Amino acid sequence: MHAFLITGGTKEDRKNKAMMMCLEWNIDTCDIMTLRVLEEKLSIGITDVKEAMRFLHMSPRRSPFTTLIIEDAHVLSPEAGQALLKTLEEPPANSRIILESPQESLLLPTIISRCQAVFVKKAADSFKIVDENLRSIIKNVCGKRTGEIIKFVDETFEGRQDAALFLETLLFASQENLFVSSSIPEIEKNVKIIRACLQAKKELASNVHFRLVLDKFFLFYTGQQS
């Protein structure tokens, strides 16, 4: 599937999910184009979509795919929607298209049928852990040596479920930080942490022992803080 439609949650939740999908696909920022409605306009027009289609037909420079993200896809003009539909029917090789909209019903059925549905929940519904708990864990591990990190993991985490919950919470916090980062170093740091969280989650899913996964992750994390 070349096209994905993200619905549900808040706009920030959907934008976070789009960014996460790009990170999971190892897409470099130079191979991502974001199409959004301009403040002085009411819709995304045909000219904007044609320009985006030219971008999609370019070969990716540093990534597996050239990726187009269309925010508020429900405000595509009728002409722009038809132009997008033609591309969805015959997508360029090595391309991905991500549409973002509050509800599926706001888009043309022909567009919906050519996209894989991705539903996101509101962050408040998905992450119940108290923020102070996350800060406490990070504070206790930062600056520790290898032996101290291993001891901390043994004493703090009782099983795979604890490890998965911690990684999911840190992943969410890093996503939020990514969108408020004000400098390139901060952005790069958060991207590295997000990718490390995703890798650790994959290792947990592959039945690697949770203590080994967390030991490796915290050694990486403390290195990022130095």
What is the Cα–Cα distance from 42 to 169, expressed in whole angstroms?
A: 36
**Looking at the structure, do residues 189 and 211 belong to the same domain, yes or no?**
yes
pLDDT of 226 reads 56
Q: Encode pLDDT of 126-184 as tens digits.
A: 444 445 666 677 777 776 788 888 888 888 888 888 888 788 778 877 777 776 666 77
pLDDT of 179 reads 66
**Looking at the structure, do residues 117 and 131 belong to the same domain, yes or no?**
no
**Looking at the structure, do residues 132 and 78 belong to the same domain, yes or no?**
no
pLDDT, greater one: 55 or 1: 55
**Looking at the structure, do residues 66 and 84 belong to the same domain, yes or no?**
yes
**Looking at the structure, do residues 162 and 215 belong to the same domain, yes or no?**
yes
Q: What residues form DSSP beta bridges with 70?
A: 35, 99
> How many domains in the chain?
2
Residue 99 CB: number of other CB atoms within 10 A? 28
pLDDT of 35 reads 93
pTM given for the model: 0.63
What is the Cα–Cα distance from 188 to 178, expressed in whole angstroms?
A: 9
**Looking at the structure, do residues 9 and 117 belong to the same domain, yes or no?**
yes
Q: Encode pLDDT of 67-117 as tens digits.
A: 999 999 999 999 999 999 999 999 888 999 999 999 998 998 999 999 999
**Looking at the structure, do residues 189 and 215 belong to the same domain, yes or no?**
yes
Residue 140 belongs to domain spanning: 127-225
Please report the DSSP string for the chain in residue order.
--EEEEESS-HHHHHHHHHHHHHHTT--GGGEEEE---TT-SSB-HHHHHHHHHHHTSPPSSSSSEEEEETTGGGB-HHHHHHHHHHHHSPPTTEEEEEE-S-GGGS-HHHHTTSEEEE---HHHH--S-HHHHHHHHHHHTT--HHHHHHHHHHH--SHHHHHHHHHHHHHHHHHHHHH--SHHHHHHHHHHHHHHHHHHHHHHTT--HHHHHHHHHHHHHHHH-
- Of 121, 155, 190, which residue sits at a domain end? 121
**Looking at the structure, do residues 70 and 116 belong to the same domain, yes or no?**
yes
Q: How confident is the model at residue 125 (pLDDT cuts 50, 70, 90)?
A: very low
